[in-house]
Homo-oligomer: A and B are copies of this chain.
């Protein structure tokens, strides 16, 4: 009956209640356990649709779970019993302004589609999650997504100049705008970036763009073990700022090679993949500096190429790690980060947890900014291993927190990491988070169970 009220309010959005549709919207990629069963999925087509949904939800006290492309890795889009899943996947407009170097984008457009649209104007939107071909810009805003470029180009929040947000009570507010500098009022635009749908629903975003960068040179180093490899990372970051500095361990190399047959060295203990986008003599100098740093820190083989396509093949291998490992079993994905000097210790500690708990943990990392993705592979037919894996999952986060690190660098807290958030932030900061949550969503109807 309250759904009739919802349908009456909406003009352009579709309200879906088919059982198999609902089933498909209960979880995102993280497959958080025990998802609720929503009463409806609403596919919004406009800010006004979202406003009507939130007015209705406020009036009836119905929980609303905002959802982008459903590619989240922390369970931030997990349905709630009796709630609505509010999908922005049909909101896909983009308007590029090459003079101001900004684009106004609706949240349903995929990251790759934003990149393509702005490339037509010679421009670049840097943030590049490994999932960039399937994740939406709205989800990127919600999690403050990162990617491979961040070591030089920063994360999503560095590129968000303005937002249109629908608040819990249905009010739509426009924050910031197409201005590189704007400090009028509190920095609310930045507050909503990374808020995982707990403070409002983003219906439009104005992103900052930069001119297209030159093609890249690539340096690959093969290392006997992960600790030597992470020492090499520090030798690089101490001096230069490469355009990419990625890490794969033996388990992830072998999984990708088994899946894609690219000719990767499956005997490598670990691999570093670095890129330079400088030009002229500086590029040669930067590339040689990295090659030399790799050799000095024990690389058994170093390979460099100026051919962008050859370099891209290695990047494809790095990005494929999640999906290739996913073919070997269900995954528990981590996203822990530490201050860079702690990277070797973190990597060694993860190896120790893997050995102690007797569960395989593959490791890939955005090594240049200390953001690692330990990936725990479950065997579906081994409940005891699943139990040990869960223990390891928590221990990895405890380890990072103990080193002054974070439980999430770019995926968000979602449901899966919410139990560890107080240990990282401390009770005073948790209380500060809750005060702001309560000020903006007093009924607690926005994405309950995520983050808080």
- A residues near B (Cβ < 8 Å) are 97-102, 122, 143-144, 146, 150-151, 154-155, 157-158, 167, 171-175, 177-188, 190-191, 193-195, 198-199, 210-211, 214, 234, 237-241, 278-282, 337-341, 366, 369-371, 404-413, 417, 421, 424-426, 428-430, 432-433, 435-440, 451
Do A183 and B433 touch (CB < 8 A)?
Answer: no
23 A-B interface contacts by CB (under 8 A): A99-B234, A99-B238, A99-B341, A157-B190, A173-B426, A173-B428, A174-B426, A174-B429, A177-B405, A178-B339, A179-B338, A181-B370, A181-B410, A184-B424, A185-B421, A185-B424, A185-B425, A185-B451, A187-B190, A188-B432, A214-B282, A436-B436, A436-B440
Most buried by B among A181, A187, A211: A181
Q: Which of B101, B167, B183, B412 is within 8 Å of A432, CB to CB?
A: B167
Residue of B nearest to A233 (CB): B99
B181 in contact with A187 (CB, 8 Å):
no
Shortest A394–chain B CB gap in Å is: 15
A191 touches B180 (CB 8 A): no
Please state if A339 and B186 are interface contacts (CB–CB under 8 Å): no
Closest chain-B Cβ to A7's Cβ sits at a distance in Å of 27
Q: Are A210 and B241 in contact (CB under 8 A)?
A: yes
Closest partner residue, chain B, to A195 (CB atom): B186
Are the C-beta atoms of A191 and B194 separated by less than 8 Å?
Answer: no
Q: How far is the CA of A236 from the CA of B278 in the complex (A)?
A: 21
Q: Which residues of B contact A412 (CB under 8 A)?
A: 183
Using A155-B181, A181-B366, A211-B239 as known contacts, list a sample of 14 further A-B pairs with CB atoms less than 8 Å apart, ordered by residue number in A: A158-B158, A167-B432, A172-B428, A174-B429, A179-B406, A179-B409, A180-B369, A181-B337, A181-B370, A182-B406, A184-B406, A185-B421, A190-B190, A280-B281
Q: In the bound complex, do residue B429 and residue A99 qualify as a contact, i.e. CB atoms below 8 Å apart?
A: no
CB < 8 Å neighbour of A280 from B194, B279, B437: B279
Instruction: Give every chain B residue within 8 A of A102 (Cβ-Cβ).
Output: 339
Pick the residue among B101, B172, B405 that contacts A179 (CB under 8 A): B405
Contact check, A433 vs B186: say whether CB atoms are below 8 A apart: yes
Contact of A150 among B172, B173, B180, B237 (CB under 8 A): B180
A100 to B279 alpha-carbon distance, docked (Å): 25
What's the minimum C-beta distance from A428 to chain B, rounded to whole angstroms? Answer: 5
Q: Which residue of B lies closest to A424 (CB)?
A: B184
Identity of the chain B residue whose Cβ is nearest the Cβ of A366 in the assembled complex: B181
Query: Contacts of A278 on B, CB cut-off 8 Å?
Result: 279
Cα A440 to Cα B191 with chains together (Å) = 14
Tell me the smallest distance from the CB of A408 to a CB of chain B, in Å.
5
Inter-subunit contact B282/A180 (CB<8 Å): no
A333 to chain B, nearest CB (A): 14
Name A186's contact: one of B151, B404, B408, B436 (CB within 8 Å). B436
In-complex Cβ contact of A187 among B178, B191, B426, B440 (8 A): B191
Q: Which residue of B lies closest to A154 (CB)?
A: B158
